[in-house]
Structure 1
Amino acid sequence: MTPALSYPEVGATAPGGSLPPGYRHLRHRTRLGSGRARFEAAGERVLTFAMHRAVGVGVTADAERAAPGVRVRVLLGRGRIGVAAPCEVVWTVRDEARIGFGYGSLPGHPECGEEAFLVELDGAGEVWFTVTAFSRPGHWATRALGPLVPVFQAAYARRCGRVLRRMTAGRG
């Protein structure tokens, strides 16, 4: 039997969802550029975990693309000082204006909660990337780090946006 997600509010980061109380909340939005080609390119890099790998985290997954039920292992850090963060994709979206997914923490993850990566094409043709998350410590180490964890999470979200913008430059 595979382990269950480590929190009950599954899917709260999905478009239209409401982030639950009792967690730290994160929303970071980055303008990537404009045009459908850039939107499609960015969405593909998010769904295939290419953005995550380009940011510098190690990613292994049960499948090449994000889909509900796909297990993902994110390695934060390097080698012996790295921390494994097991997750499961809980939702995906791919329509005319949104491409992305959200994954939730599994037992053994240093945090407890959910994180989403969403590319959107607005009515003016602008392409936006948003990282949305809710989390709380899931391990003694993240409890001990206390106020530093949200700083690292925000820096990671900003880096994802910058990297995705560079990855899709010239696409729109």
Structure 2
Amino acid sequence: MSSRDFTYDAVGATREPGACPPGFRPLHVRTRIGEGEAVFRRAAEAVATWEMHRALGLTFDTEAARAAPGVEVTITVAGLLRAPCRVVWTVEEHRLAGWAYGTLSGHPESGEEAFVVDRTGDGTVWLTVSGFSRPTTWYAKAGGAATRGLQHAYARRCGTVLRRIASDSADD
């Protein structure tokens, strides 16, 4: 594990639904993925193994095969923007699976983002992307509302991609 520090103090706060430290902007996007145990298992595996993120078309660099606390990841967008992060928590339960990462120095934003798959009592499978952030670089600050819009679009795209991955496996 690197000695790089997190760029915010509330490390792990995304474990609590709706948590958003003062001075940060919240993010919460929930997408229906499908229904049933097979869809849940496939979606949970795709989130845990970075498959969902890689299917988004991002460069997702890590030496770990699965999300685990302490694992570092660097996301690169369009070959230009590098965003180093570290996994801060994971969950793997009968109806709940996922993880969150926090930003490290060199990331254009400061904050945390969680990707959690859950299966409700009626069997519906959901992906919730939640977190909190604030810009730290001049270009993230200059982006203003557009930057925020991109974050929400990214979260919605995660759900779309995961739905496709999980439904493809359910057809097998």
Q: Tell me what 1:95 maps to.
A: 93
Q: Tell me what 2:119 maps to.
A: 121
**Cα distance, 1:21 vs structure 2:** 2.1
Q: Tell me what 2:132 maps to.
A: 134
Q: Tell me what 1:11 maps to.
A: 12
**Cα distance, 1:12 vs structure 2:** 1.0
Q: Tell me what 1:63 maps to.
A: 64
Percent sequence identity over matched residues? 49
Query: Within 2, Cα distance between the matches of 1:109 and 1:138?
Result: 8
Query: Within 1, Cα distance between the matches of 2:32 and 2:15?
Result: 19
Give secondary structure in 2 for the equivalent of 1:21. Answer: coil
Query: Within 2, Cα distance between the matches of 1:148 and 1:17?
Result: 23
Query: Within 2, Cα distance between the matches of 1:160 and 1:16?
Result: 19
TM-score normalized with structure 2 length: 0.94
**What is the CA deviation profile of residues 41-72 of structure 1, one whole-angstrom value per residue up to 9, with x for unaligned ones?**
00100011100000111101131100000000
* Equivalent pair of 1:11/1:17 in contact (CA under 8 Å): no
Q: Which runs of 4+ in 1 moved over 4 A?
A: none
**Cα distance, 1:16 vs structure 2:** 4.4
* Equivalent pair of 1:10/1:90 in contact (CA under 8 Å): yes
Q: 1:42 to 1:15 in 2, by over 3 A?
A: farther
* Equivalent pair of 1:92/1:101 in contact (CA under 8 Å): yes
Number of equivalenced pairs:
169
Q: 1:145 to 1:16 in 2, by over 3 A?
A: closer
Query: Within 1, Cα distance between the matches of 2:56 and 2:16?
Result: 24
Q: Tell me what 2:144 maps to.
A: 146
Q: Tell me what 1:76 maps to.
A: 77
**Cα distance, 1:138 vs structure 2:** 1.5
Aligned-residue CA RMSD in angstroms? 1.3
**Cα distance, 1:102 vs structure 2:** 0.2
Q: Which runs of 5+ in 2 are unaligned?
A: none
**What is the CA deviation profile of residues 146-165 of structure 1, one whole-angstrom value per residue up to 9, with x for unaligned ones?**
11111000000011000000
Q: Tell me what 1:106 maps to.
A: 104
Letter in 1 for 2:68: A
**Cα distance, 1:92 vs structure 2:** 0.2
* Equivalent pair of 1:58/1:76 in contact (CA under 8 Å): yes
Query: Within 1, Cα distance between the matches of 2:118 and 2:68?
Result: 18
Letter in 2 for 1:70: V
* Equivalent pair of 1:60/1:73 in contact (CA under 8 Å): yes
Q: Which runs of 5+ in 1 are unaligned?
A: none
Give secondary structure in 1 for the equivalent of 2:14. Answer: coil
